[in-house]
Structure 1
Amino acid sequence: MTLGTKIAWDDTVLPFQLDNSDTRGRVARLDGVLEGILRQHDYPPGVEALVAEMALLTALVGQTIKLRWKLSLQVQTNGPVRMIATDYFAPKADGEPARIRAYASFDPERIEAGAPFDQLGEGYFAILMDQGPDTTPYQGITPLSGGSLAACAEAYFAQSEQLPTRFSLSFGKSTEAGGSEHWRAGGIMLQHMPKASPFATGDATGEGGLLTGDDLLQGDDGENWSRVNLLLDTVEDLEMIGPQIAPTDLLLRLFHEERPRVFDAQSVHFGCTCSVERVRNSLSIYSAKDIEKMTTDDGRVTADCQFCGAHYDLDPATVGFDAPDAPTQG
């Protein structure tokens, strides 16, 4: 089997629970999702890596939440990579896939050689949850720290949710015989059960005075958490992204003494929610004078979706709150 071959557990998130240590988790594998996200853009390698890491985190985090509509992860910085944004859309019905989209905004002239995380500068990591109409969106933020987006997510859960959380991720391009490249990513998320971690037990020991998972646990809970983290430390990159080991087999290899139980896997696809109606809605706040300023020399109003690259070409007479030829609503 070559690395570019589609395998049964690609683009899936497998939930599991470790009964002996009061820990829950997820195993994620992404390939087509990353291809769908990254082929829309010509990102430098470091930016690609950041977007891939963020998409993998989004798949893992999104599947842990009883989500009715959308979960978003965002990074805002003063560095060469100004922003990374991802969205996870919950399945519309049982048996349907979740959908993920992502993009990054960056200054090409400021991108330098070095580790991808070094391109971020100072800023914050945010998680936003929107459960749909008639609900109040939730947002929590934490400073960028720890040298990776995964470390930022761990700090977010410790600081904002008081939940000890650990991620182990692997992602990148594999090259097959013949020269073709293919994105693959895999990761494992561990999280101590919420009832077991209600408060910090001492001083915050994380970078910048942030809490860590170890700060939240004591006694047997602390020992259990340390043990499963030591077991996770033994995972190898190829076990997470290679085609030979199924996620269920990997869990048994890592945690067989913790009595792992697996649940139904959730499939994930690359998907965008942009549409001509949404573009019209976003332009509905503008007057005819504003729309005139947006009109091209060819007499059109155009817009491009930053997530999927879709191009929209509209008649200026049909957009804006006082559009003379606005489409009638059905």
Structure 2
Amino acid sequence: MINTMTHIWDDTVLPFQLDASDIRGRVARLDGVLDEVLRQHDYPPQIEALVAEMALLTALIGQTIKLRWKLSLQVRGDGPARLIATDYYGPTEDGQPARIRAYASFDRDRLLAHVRDEPFDLIGKGYFAILIDQGKDMAPYQGITPIAGGSLSACAETYFAQSEQISTRFALSHGRPTEPGVEEGWRAGGVMLQHMPKASPYASGEGGSGEGGLLTASDILDDDGQENWNRANLLLDTTEDLELIGPSVSPTDLLVRLFHEEGPRVFDPQPIRFGCTCSSERVRQSLSIYSAKDIAHMTTEDGIVTADCQFCGAHYEFEPETLGFEATKAP
């Protein structure tokens, strides 16, 4: 019998630290958030799997950003899955939930020819990017690394090794598990480990042992750090998909099962909700750079300008006379 009390961990990220190993991490569980993200669209199963993995990565990475900051992850490729994009909005106040949204762009015709391919293989060649918007009057940060490693989580690990020189490991699982008496729905869960950053004598800038000479976690650790890192990774390898996804095992129980000898210490969990920032005013602002002639080209036969949000599916309609820098009518 499943203990329903563990459902209180759904849609949360729990930060923790392994005091004996100089390793920090997060445990994430996404349930309703993932269903909200995916129900906005009619994605094929392979694309749903990519979006689910990307949303889980975003929750795990995003937990570290400051209040009111925005974290974006993007994967662009030349395969049938052209773009996977996610946004994480930091809480506006301490104790408030963070918000996540996500969407994918894909070539449906090309996808039909690759129905037996693994989801990651649909991306092809491209890049994995992390962008951080710190707010007004602050220059945004952007880091990019090539698609490599065989999974989105491997791409993220390579990004942290290459761009941040932080040894990072993800163990992720997602799917649509069924429970007696519970409606089937998407669930995802995962663990993120990071070795506390220190100056490494091995990060020389001469390339690493990863695909295409990219740095890996082992390239940026000294001997003591490598021993601790290897031990934590071996312990993480023992976890099972159902332990990651839950809900029968709570994140705190999972940490004790995996790392009880490493001195796990948990911090306040971060709740996460689905949330989109689109609005008619934002759409209107985005169209303010266009002339009346440009707006005329956007006007439908019904005499309106329409816009749809790629993230949440919201539909907006405007009078063309109220749009652009040559608007002749107030909204």
**Smaller-chain TM-score range?**
over 0.9
Give the 4+ runs in structure 1 shifted more than 6 A.
Answer: 2-6
Cα deviation digits, residues 61-109 of structure 1 (max 9, x gap): 0012335320000011111011010000000001110000000000001
* Correspondence 1:125 to 2:128: yes
The 5 Å alignment of 1:271-286 reads 271-286=275-290
- Please report the TM-score for the alignment, with normalisation by the length of structure 2: 0.95
Residue number in structure 1 paired with 2:102: 102
* Alpha-carbon distance between aligned partners in 1 of 2:181 and 2:170, rounded to the nearest angstrom: 33
Residue number in structure 1 paired with 2:325: 321
Question: SS at the partner of 1:230?
Answer: helix
Shift of 1:175: 3.0
* Alpha-carbon distance between aligned partners in 1 of 2:179 and 2:40, rounded to the nearest angstrom: 22
1:251 corresponds to which of 239, 250, 255: 255
Checking the alignment, whether the CA contact within 8 Å between 2:207 and 2:214 is kept in structure 1 is: no
Question: SS at the partner of 1:277?
Answer: helix
* Alpha-carbon distance between aligned partners in 2 of 1:93 and 1:211, rounded to the nearest angstrom: 36
Question: SS at the partner of 1:76?
Answer: strand
Shift of 1:195: 3.0
* Correspondence 1:136 to 2:139: yes
* Alpha-carbon distance between aligned partners in 2 of 1:68 and 1:146, rounded to the nearest angstrom: 32
Checking the alignment, whether the CA contact within 8 Å between 1:157 and 1:164 is kept in structure 2 is: yes
Deviating more after overlay: 105-114 vs 148-157: 105-114
Alpha-carbon RMSD across the aligned residues, in angstroms, is 1.8
* Correspondence 1:210 to 2:214: yes
Distance 1:180 1:3, change over 3 A: farther
Residue number in structure 2 paired with 1:45: 45
Q: Which letter does structure 2 place at the counterpart of 1:38? A: L
Distance 1:131 1:278, change over 3 A: same
* Unaligned ranges ≥5, structure 2: none
Question: SS at the partner of 2:42?
Answer: coil
Distance 1:220 1:6, change over 3 A: closer
Distance 1:302 1:193, change over 3 A: same
Identity within the alignment, %: 71
Residue number in structure 1 paired with 2:292: 288
Residue number in structure 1 paired with 2:178: 175
Residue number in structure 1 paired with 2:19: 19
- Please report the TM-score for the alignment, with normalisation by the length of structure 1: 0.95
* Number of residue pairs the alignment of both structures matches: 327
Q: Which letter does structure 2 place at the counterpart of 1:164? A: S
Distance 1:4 1:325, change over 3 A: farther
* Alpha-carbon distance between aligned partners in 2 of 1:125 and 1:76, rounded to the nearest angstrom: 7
Question: SS at the partner of 2:316?
Answer: strand
Distance 1:153 1:198, change over 3 A: farther
Shift of 1:181: 2.3
Cα deviation digits, residues 287-327 of structure 1 (max 9, x gap): 01110110011100000000000000111111111110133
* Alpha-carbon distance between aligned partners in 2 of 1:83 and 1:24, rounded to the nearest angstrom: 30
* Alpha-carbon distance between aligned partners in 2 of 1:14 and 1:301, rounded to the nearest angstrom: 44
* Alpha-carbon distance between aligned partners in 2 of 1:44 and 1:199, rounded to the nearest angstrom: 43
Shift of 1:283: 0.4
Distance 1:83 1:203, change over 3 A: closer
Checking the alignment, whether the CA contact within 8 Å between 1:171 and 1:183 is kept in structure 2 is: yes
Residue number in structure 1 paired with 2:31: 31
Q: Which letter does structure 1 place at the counterpart of 2:118? A: A
Checking the alignment, whether the CA contact within 8 Å between 1:14 and 1:27 is kept in structure 2 is: yes
Shift of 1:243: 1.6
